[in-house]
Structure 1
């Protein structure tokens, strides 16, 4: 492994630790190479997402894309850089070098990344979705379900039947993010709650008010979210022990965000709801002891 790749793997781990703490804690339960490969997939997705949502914080040395230009131009440049590097199998820039080395070694289908970048581009032109089906199939297919597909080669499942549970877990993770991050997404001009559901309950998230109607709508979304986690659960038994502990830990921690949303009375407007670090550490230790409650 080249010095550039080693540096890139370290930076991918840092990006995951800084911005994806649940993924980071879960990946700590994997052997080193699998852990590193989780970090590279996360880093690729994080950088693309930040180019769209928070372009000012994306460092040029991470994404190998110039700082000038619109978000659409930078995202397209990042997409081109990634696919070009993947085709060549090598690149000098450390983070991209680590990303394509891991993805190439795992044999991940490049089509997954086409769907992913298409979804990221959609964020620049679409700010709301009419129905749950529109949101799930029109956006989350490329921004969530496909992440589960990207992770499968890293997790080394026993059977190809693990694909659908992995996709369901991708949907579940992202829907949890949507429910937790309503306020932040409004600040970006986006609503990831189905307009049909909002209208049926007579609520407007732009008002940022927690009313009985808002609570009823959110309770409905949480129930949908929990059903997705239930759909994903059978996939755990299709994974080898280390991968099962990793994914199980992430599942438990993400699902606890839903508990905290409920405990807050579905108020997602006044402070970001989090699972404390000590709780994440405790869940990880339980996973190591083989007693993770899923």
Structure 2
């Protein structure tokens, strides 16, 4: 990637994702900032998932991003971080939140995450999802306390839903994000990712994680129902779409063989229209 990603390239990275429909309803400055944050997340996520690069090469690439973020905040040459420079300037985004996203990706690079302790899984969710939420709520114009609370709960809800959706895909690259405590309670002694995800008792483990995600969705919806200040239609859309996806997965269950469910784009667009009319 070039040192400065063009606006057209940012749009190309975002277009076609479920995220795109949600962000198109924002005012221009907020929309472009969210596209830049999303593109940054995709860039560092691609580094973490690059199976062709060695762990050392991927770790170095992440550290280059960290150095560029630091240079941006110090007023120096931003390098790749030019991608988010305008968003940082306009919305006062925190450097620590960019660092936390990088730290989350570094957890995947350091060693494929397999059946982590629940506390480690929560830290991972905070870094790769809630930190993104903390960046986002600043763009949305939320006040500090409700913004951080929404980022905490909605970020975890979305990430846990993604984990439950991507069990087979993650196992194919050597990762199992289901918590060690859940596997132990189900009587599963983990040896390999393939062995774990083939065990029908995984359904109970997944349902336990789904209950956690549901609880976070409840908290996120309560915050949004309080009508805090900010452009919140995008957050409302993501909460509605992904809680529906979680509900569909709960109905289908996680006993193998599983069918990967995904957010329906036509339904997502209908949800956007409904939210626009209802607000």
Which TM bucket (shorter chain)? 0.7 to 0.9
Tell me how far apart the structure 2 counterparts of residues 152 and 276 of structure 1 sit (CA, whole Å). 25
Q: Distance in 1 between matches of 2:223 and 2:9?
A: 30
Match of 2:7 in 1: 9
Contact 1:253 1:275 in 2 (8 A): yes
Indicate whether 1:170 and 2:155 are aligned: yes
Question: How far, CA to CA, are the matches of 2:274 and 2:52 in structure 1?
Answer: 38
The equivalent position to 1:215 in structure 2, one of 185, 199, 203, is 203
TM-score (norm: length of structure 1): 0.82
1:122-146 deviation line (CA, Å, top 9, x unaligned): 1112422542222103x22222221
Aligned twin of 1:71? 58
Aligned with 2:50 (options 43, 49, 54): 54
Q: 1:85 to 1:159 in 2, by over 3 A?
A: closer
Correspondent of 2:138 among 133, 137, 153? 153
Is residue 134 from structure 1 mapped to residue 120 from structure 2 by the alignment?
A: yes
**Counterpart residue number, 2:180:** 195
2:142/2:228 contact within 8 Å kept: yes
The one of 257, 262, 276 equivalent to 1:274 is 262
Query: How many equivalent pairs are there?
Result: 271
With over 3 angstroms needed to count, the CA separation of the structure-2 counterparts of 1:53 and 1:159, relative to structure 1, is closer
SS of 2:6 mapped into structure 1: helix
Distance 1:280 1:89, change over 3 A: farther
Q: What pairs up with 1:210-289 in 2 under 5 angstroms?
A: 211=200, 213-236=201-224, 237-240=226-229, 243-267=231-255, 270-289=258-277
Alpha-carbon distance in structure 1 between the residues aligned to 2:256 and 2:8:
34
Deviations 1:271-293 (A, max 9, x none): 431122211111111111117xx
Q: Which runs of 5+ in 2 are unaligned?
A: none
Residue of structure 1 equivalent to 2:68? 81
Task: Give 1:216 shift.
Answer: 2.0
1:106 and 2:102 matched: no
Aligned to 1:223, what secondary structure does the other structure show? helix
Which blocks of at least 5 consecutive residues in structure 1 are unaligned? 58-68
Match of 1:45 among 35, 41, 44: 41
Give the TM-score of the pair, scaled to structure 2: 0.86
Cα deviation per residue 1:181-210 (whole Å; 9 max; x = unaligned)? 111111121111101101211245523336
| Cα distance in 1 between the residues matched to 2:28 and 2:37 | 15
Displacement of 1:267 after TM fit?
Answer: 4.8
CA spacing shift, 1:209–1:280, aligned 2, 3 Å: same
Deviation at 1:36, TM superposition (A): 0.9
* CA distance, structure 1, for counterparts of residue 257 and residue 164 of structure 2: 10
What CA RMSD, in Å, does the superposition of the two structures yield over aligned residues? 2.7
